[in-house]
């Protein structure tokens, strides 16, 4: 019972990260940047579809490009991952760090470091700022495409 209480969350994080990594390795982005190559049959971004219909130009949502960025990073194309979605590329490396911490917890019995509450808040704020900044970048890119 003690093992479940202490190490089960780390096992779930490690396996969850492994599933996401495996999915990213098998994903092939579509050349036009909308979804996949058809194997996964992912729906197109609803935000892009609606803004394309309303404004005549599809605009990306805040997370547009995350899947593409994860796939590129998983295949070692880090520059392309950052160009596609900077927040997605950072999230990929955060996932790898989380997996490493979970593996450490499973092997050593304790996490490599414990974050204080203010550090978690700082990480959350930094993540929010990164996501907002990446969205502004994607919007600017979409609005100035072809000019």
Residue with tokens 């450490």: 104
Average pLDDT of the residues in 63-69 = 87
pLDDT given for residue 48 in this prediction: 78
Asked if the model's pLDDT at residue 2 lies above 70, the reply is no
Contact in structure between 64 and 77 (CB atoms under 8 Å) = no
Q: How confident is the model at residue 65 (pLDDT cuts 50, 70, 90)?
A: confident
Closest CA to 14 of 111, 86, 89: 111
Q: How confident is the model at residue 73 (pLDDT cuts 50, 70, 90)?
A: very high
Higher pLDDT, 109 or 105: 105
C-alpha distances in angstroms, 84 versus 63, 89, 92, 104, 119? 11, 8, 13, 31, 28
Higher pLDDT, 50 or 42: 50
């Amino acid at each position: 019972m003690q093992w479940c209480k202490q190490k089960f969350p780390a096992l779930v994080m490690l396996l969850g990260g492994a599933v996401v990594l495996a999915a990213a390795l098998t994903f092939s982005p579509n050349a036009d940047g909308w979804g996949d190559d058809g194997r996964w049959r992912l729906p197109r971004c609803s935000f892009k579809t609606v803004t394309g219909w309303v404004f005549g130009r599809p605009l990306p949502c805040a997370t547009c490009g995350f899947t593409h960025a994860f796939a590129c990073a998983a295949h070692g194309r880090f520059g392309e991952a950052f160009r596609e979605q900077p927040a997605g590329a950072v999230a990929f490396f955060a996932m790898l760090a989380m997996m490493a911490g979970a593996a450490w917890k499973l092997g050593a019995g304790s996490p490599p470091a414990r974050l204080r509450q203010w550090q978690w808040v700082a990480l959350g704020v930094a993540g929010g700022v990164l996501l907002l900044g990446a969205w502004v970048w994607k919007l600017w890119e979409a609005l100035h495409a072809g000019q």
